Chain A
Amino acid sequence: MKQVLKLRNLKVIFPTNYGIIRAVESVDLDIHERECVALVGESGCGKSVTSQSVMRLIDSPPAITRVDTLEFDGRDIKDYTPKQMQEIRGKEMGMIFQDALTSLNPVMTCGKQIDEMYIRHQGLSKEEAREHTVKALELVGLPEPRKRANSFPHELSGGMRQRVLLAMAFACLPKLLIADEPTTALDVTIQAQVLSMLRNMQRGCGTALLLVTHDLSVVSAIADTVYVMYAGKIVEKAPVRELFSTPHHPYTVGLMSAVPRLSDTERVFTQIPGTVPHPTQKPSGCYFHPRCQYATAECKKEMPPLKTIDSNREVRCHHPLSIRGVSHA
């Protein structure tokens, strides 16, 4: 299958008065056509910085970025000028962020904003663009699309706005869509709608999806491959079902156990002790070792490399686990 995104060795730091923030430490990503890749981690783990770096949206002050390979659809975009990037963004690389209200222009109607995508990237006339817009809004499930096209963003509810963003993002049939916490601010049933919409559109248009989130239930709903990040590093990569049935990294295990589930029977929730390390003061050796119940002296001394297991799984751990299911005993 064709590879839409190839990222190798991304490193991003933010120098500050308090020290150097090591936001992203040597991250590799592979995304193929029609694939949905999820980048999972808690806040501060570097996943948003990673996704923005893919779009080259991280500015050089305040950050310093290094990357070995950044190939999009076979083209090396590592050294693209801002103008070249602008050509790609919106047209071939789409994005949706968490807060639709700030992503949409509040003084333009939604329809006009989507029209612009067609006019600018596909060279359509205003009337043609409007026809496409109405069809796109219909596709994302907005009731009365022609009427809604003339509404302003603040007149619509959160779920509707997110759908407008979806319509805008898919307007030009991008090869890659980057969604950063697209459903976090939404109500649970609306989340279900948006997720299912996302999945359908993605499969239908053949778009690859990079989903950045901290919510494992979102991941299990629509992801194909999952990368788990902790303190700037990828600690595990696996296809979604295998990740949930046999997680290898203690952090992944902890993350999944910490999420209360319907099948829990005990009232005591499993907790991961300690807290996420401060981005300027990371522990020696493996970043997770202070919180890991399986840590050994080796873990304290050396950072484990990312090793490949079973051809499509990777783990960064000196003593990866293989537990059949996640027990809550």
Chain B
Amino acid sequence: MHKDVKNRTPILSMRNVSVNFPVKGGLPFIKKGVIQAVSDVSLTIKRGETFGIVGESGCGKTTLGNAMIGMVRPTSGEVIFNGKNLYALSREEFKTTRRAMQMIFQDPFSSLNPRFNVYQIISEPMFIRGEDDDETMKERVVELLELVGLSADDLYRYPSDFSGGQRQRLGIARSIILNPSFLVCDEPVSALDVSIHAQILNLLNTIQQQMKLTYVFISHNLAVVKNMCDSMAVMYLGKIMESGSSERIFKNPLHPYTQALLSVVLDTVVEKERELVVLKGDIPSPINPPSGCRFWQRCPQAMQGCKTIPPESIEIEEDHFVACHLVNGFPDVELPSNYDQLVAEKPTRTHSMH
């Protein structure tokens, strides 16, 4: 089931990574604001595991995935891949290192160039990396086509001849042709029909075993993440709310946001009317994230201090980290001078033990 990854060596770790994008105003050189896509994220991904990143739109999961594979330079912080600081490498080394990293995209319709045939699409990475010989490339492409469940007959067909699920297989074949060791799957099944999900996910698992890959699996669907991922991180507005072994997290979801996400997922037993945890309000924009805990505005259990004090990620049990005041208790911080006044304003808890 879940792999025991505790003792494996890390393949990628992120230390205090933040990615900010400037919002350009009308006049050039004048910034209107900053999109804080990813804020101070630290995580470690072990070799051979599947690491899930869960969250909704605006949470920064795609940006995080891009930062991991060298597509987006972090504004601060480090990305360490195989022991090397990715963004501090020379251009040559950067290119060589990135050869081991690839990505699968969400939308099977826009991720393949409609003017290229299957052979051209899948062999393109090889071609880019200098491969010349038509025969070698053809052989390899056929090998991969059969691996993903298509056939050599499809070699010269065009993407428009294939269904969504088949196109996603083509995308998968393309991403593994260079034998990467690290693959980011950005919502690979979200755009497909539900009955096709299983096929693609099974394929991804098979390939992972065969090629000894490490996956980062980005999704908003917790049920998929539960079964695919060994470790996971739940993100909201650029910060990690809860992370660790997915087994632990699903057995004992502690963060209110994780709990809300879980309540919306389908479960077998439909005996009583399902209680949906309905969060109030909309997902805020990452341009001006709320102060303190970024989730406090929608949190059904928000407390007074959540507004001002950002929670720290604390290891609650082995391999299970939560960033929540409700769970961890408030840290020992210097109380503001008008603390008593704040407390007197609203009769809520200001301190609690988990």
Point out residues on A near B: beta carbons under 8 Å: 42-43, 141, 143, 157, 159-160, 187-193, 195-196, 214-217, 220-221, 240-241, 244-245, 254-255, 258-272, 275-276, 325-326
Complex interface: chain A residues within 8 A of B282 (CB): 157, 159-160, 190
Complex interface: chain B residues within 8 A of A263 (CB): 267-269
Give 15 A-B pairs besides A244-B268, A261-B223, A269-B198 with Cβ atoms closer than 8 angstroms: A187-B57, A190-B282, A192-B264, A192-B277, A195-B276, A240-B270, A258-B198, A260-B197, A260-B198, A260-B201, A261-B265, A265-B1, A271-B199, A325-B268, A326-B268
Would you call B270 and A268 a contact (CB within 8 A)? no
Would you call B278 and A264 a contact (CB within 8 A)? no
Would you call A216 and B195 a contact (CB within 8 A)? no
Distance in angstroms between the alpha carbons of A195 and B224 in the assembled complex: 21
A231 CB to nearest B CB, Å: 13
Distance in angstroms between the alpha carbons of A326 and B269 in the assembled complex: 10
Complex interface: chain B residues within 8 A of A244 (CB): 268, 270
Would you call A43 and B283 a contact (CB within 8 A)? no
Look across to chain A and name the residue whose beta carbon is closest to the beta carbon of B205. Answer: A267
Complex interface: chain B residues within 8 A of A268 (CB): 202, 205
Confirm or deny: B67 has a beta carbon within 8 angstroms of a beta carbon on chain A: no
Whether A269 contacts B202 in the complex (CB less than 8 A), given A217-B266, A221-B274, A261-B223, comes out as: yes
Distance in angstroms between the alpha carbons of A143 and B280 in the assembled complex: 10
Whether A245 contacts B226 in the complex (CB less than 8 A), given A193-B279, A259-B194, comes out as: no
Between A192, A216, A260, A263, the greatest number of chain B beta carbons within 10 A of the residue's beta carbon is seen for A260
Q: Which of B234-290 contact A (CB under 8 A)?
A: 250, 260-271, 274, 276-283
Which of A42, A221, A266 interacts with B195 by CB under 8 Å? A42
Distance in angstroms between the alpha carbons of A141 and B281 in the assembled complex: 9
Complex interface: chain A residues within 8 A of B222 (CB): 262
Whether A258 contacts B223 in the complex (CB less than 8 A), given A216-B266, A271-B202, comes out as: no
Distance in angstroms between the alpha carbons of A221 and B205 in the assembled complex: 30
Distance in angstroms between the alpha carbons of A197 and B32 in the assembled complex: 36
Look across to chain A and name the residue whose beta carbon is closest to the beta carbon of B257. Answer: A189
Would you call A264 and B57 a contact (CB within 8 A)? no
Would you call A216 and B194 a contact (CB within 8 A)? yes
Give the size of the chain B interface in residues (CB under 8 angstroms).
45
Complex interface: chain A residues within 8 A of B197 (CB): 258-260, 269
The 8 closest A-B pairs by CB, nearest first: A269-B198, A217-B266, A187-B56, A271-B198, A260-B223, A244-B270, A42-B193, A258-B195
Q: Which of B105-157 contact A (CB under 8 A)?
A: none
Distance in angstroms between the alpha carbons of A42 and B164 in the assembled complex: 13
Look across to chain A and name the residue whose beta carbon is closest to the beta carbon of B165. Answer: A275
A206 CB to nearest B CB, Å: 19
Would you call B226 and A262 a contact (CB within 8 A)? yes
Would you call A220 and B227 a contact (CB within 8 A)? no
Distance in angstroms between the alpha carbons of A189 and B220 in the assembled complex: 10
Whether A262 contacts B250 in the complex (CB less than 8 A), given A217-B264, A241-B270, comes out as: yes
Complex interface: chain B residues within 8 A of A265 (CB): 1
Distance in angstroms between the alpha carbons of A181 and B344 in the assembled complex: 47
Would you call A261 and B267 a contact (CB within 8 A)? yes
Would you call A260 and B264 a contact (CB within 8 A)? no
Would you call A254 and B195 a contact (CB within 8 A)? yes
Would you call B227 and A269 a contact (CB within 8 A)? yes
B288 CB to nearest A CB, Å: 14
Look across to chain A and name the residue whose beta carbon is closest to the beta carbon of B189. Answer: A260
Would you call A259 and B56 a contact (CB within 8 A)? no
Would you call A245 and B264 a contact (CB within 8 A)? no
Distance in angstroms between the alpha carbons of A315 and B165 in the assembled complex: 28
Would you call A264 and B226 a contact (CB within 8 A)? yes
Confirm or deny: B221 has a beta carbon within 8 angstroms of a beta carbon on chain A: yes
A185 CB to nearest B CB, Å: 10
Would you call A260 and B227 a contact (CB within 8 A)? yes
Distance in angstroms between the alpha carbons of A299 and B198 in the assembled complex: 25
Confirm or deny: B228 has a beta carbon within 8 angstroms of a beta carbon on chain A: yes
Which of B194, B261, B279, B280 interacts with A255 by CB under 8 Å? B194
Would you call A214 and B263 a contact (CB within 8 A)? no
Would you call B279 and A214 a contact (CB within 8 A)? no
Distance in angstroms between the alpha carbons of A271 and B278 in the assembled complex: 32
Complex interface: chain A residues within 8 A of B226 (CB): 260, 262, 264
